[in-house]
Chains A and B, each alone.
Chain A
Amino acid sequence: MKTNRETSLAVTKTTFSLPAFHRPNRQRGALAALVLLLGALQLQLFVSTALAESSTVGKSGGAQPWSVLQVDRVDPGDVGLAPSFGAAIYENLLAELAKTEQFKQLFRSGDRNANDVPSLLILKTTVQKYTPGSETRRAVTTVNGATKLNVRIQLVTRDGHVVLENVVDGNVRFIGGNLRATHNLAHNVAVTLKRSALPEQANLVPEREPKRLADF
């Protein structure tokens, strides 16, 4: 026969049994973990937003970014560039630069609509080296007959300040017609412009003034 004490102990044992003790704690633990996770996520979001804001402010510095580009006609230099190559480089440049969407507006050379645009950059292309190839020679020999182009590109402001200068190659070595070299070249130019960091407009003004003073 059980005494009252044994009964009370049994009740106590029943009350403080391990699974029964852990069940609410598990729920609380899961809730706490969820709260912690949400807190961490919120913190991360806040930090990334703040970093992005600070980087944007740091980069632009209140100045308007270069968003409009005018592609100038290709300067054939003195390398005997075929006229079709000059036209093909120019047209392919326009097509490839439009693909990258780096600039909001693209103007052709001589376009009157570009006259009133304030933040305009002009892309000047000068052919430095040109090796005419032969598609048949490429197809027959594989190692011979490559068409090679080497151009100097300059991004110039309206008042003649050079913002960026680079040398880019465009070749066709195996498959494709000779004009494919112009497509490859234009693609490389677009990639080069996309990767290069353009200086801010505000930074260009102080550099220009000493030159003017030096001229006087």
Chain B
Amino acid sequence: MKRNPIPSRQTPVTSLQIGHGLACLTLLLSLCARSIGQTQSEAQSPVPGSAIHVTHVLGFEGVRQNATGDLKIQGDAVQFQRDGSPTAQVKIGSIQDIFVEDEDKQVGGTAMTLGKAAAPYGGGRVVSLFAHKKYDFLTVEYLDNNGGFHGAIFQLDKGQGQTFKKDLLVNGAHISSPDDRATTQSTPEVKNENK
């Protein structure tokens, strides 16, 4: 008697689940490896006066938003140099205020966000727990040649903001109120609302 083997319906689903699980695990492992690498790089303190790698968030004249490049002090000016684009610079004497804040951000950008949204069984949320990193945000308020006010924000690796701020102060940058606003640390967990 000829018997046809009954295909098991559980097998494809299980393999799919295993596949998803493996994908999530791989993603998590890669993120962990990346965060470890970042922690090691944080331990290296930047050399004073040298260029630091930053992401321009907004506000620096002549540079597009979210551009990455090197920020350095050259003579009496702060320069932002990006590969293949002209250097944008601001006189240090025109700086009115400098603030450094640290903030927690998710890493991975849009691709990671989409990946987390597509991960099954809430796997994206688990990944989000580990896929974040602390950054320094350097806010530089300065005046242009016409006296117009600008507020430029740069995202730096943690620990580099204070060093760069000290370099700027040594080179003649002004701070309006050094006591209470010199170092502002944002506390995102605390609700600060006045009604």
B153 and A179 within 8 A (CB) = yes
**Dominant SS at the B interface?**
mixed
User: Closest CB of chain B to A181's CB: distance in Å?
Assistant: 12
User: Closest CB of chain A to B108's CB: distance in Å?
Assistant: 10
What 0/1 pattern do residues 74 to 93 of A give for CB contact below 8 A with B?
A: 00011110111011101110
User: Closest CB of chain B to A90's CB: distance in Å?
Assistant: 5
B194 and A132 within 8 A (CB) = no
Q: Which one of A9-17, A109-117, A204-212 is at the interface?
A: A109-117
A88 and B132 within 8 A (CB) = no
Judge whether A47 is part of the interface by a CB distance below 8 angstroms: no
Judge whether A169 is part of the interface by a CB distance below 8 angstroms: no
Judge whether A152 is part of the interface by a CB distance below 8 angstroms: no
What 0/1 pattern do residues 121 to 156 of A give for CB contact below 8 A with B?
A: 000000011111111110111100100100000000
B193 and A130 within 8 A (CB) = yes
**B residues within 8 A CB of A80?**
192
A108 and B144 within 8 A (CB) = yes
Judge whether B50 is part of the interface by a CB distance below 8 angstroms: no
**B residues within 8 A CB of A148?**
193
**B residues within 8 A CB of A136?**
104, 106, 128-129, 132
Kindly state the interface size class of chain B when it binds its partner. 35 or more
B146 and A84 within 8 A (CB) = no
How far is it, in angstroms, between the C-alpha of A145 and the C-alpha of B132 when the chains are bound?
15
A140 and B181 within 8 A (CB) = no
User: Closest CB of chain B to A62's CB: distance in Å?
Assistant: 32
A178 and B57 within 8 A (CB) = no
B125 and A79 within 8 A (CB) = no
What 0/1 pattern do residues 124 to 167 of B give for CB contact below 8 A with A?
A: 11001100100001010101101111111100000000000000
With most chain B CB atoms within 10 A of its CB, the pick from A84, A135, A140, A175 is A84
What 0/1 pattern do residues 171 to 187 of B give for CB contact below 8 A with A?
A: 00000000001001011
**A residues within 8 A CB of B181?**
83
Which of B103, B129, B184 has a CB less than 8 Å from the CB of A140? B129
Could you name 11 residue pairs across A and B whose Cβ atoms are closer than 8 Å?
A83-B101, A91-B58, A91-B150, A110-B148, A129-B195, A130-B192, A131-B192, A131-B193, A136-B106, A177-B106, A178-B103
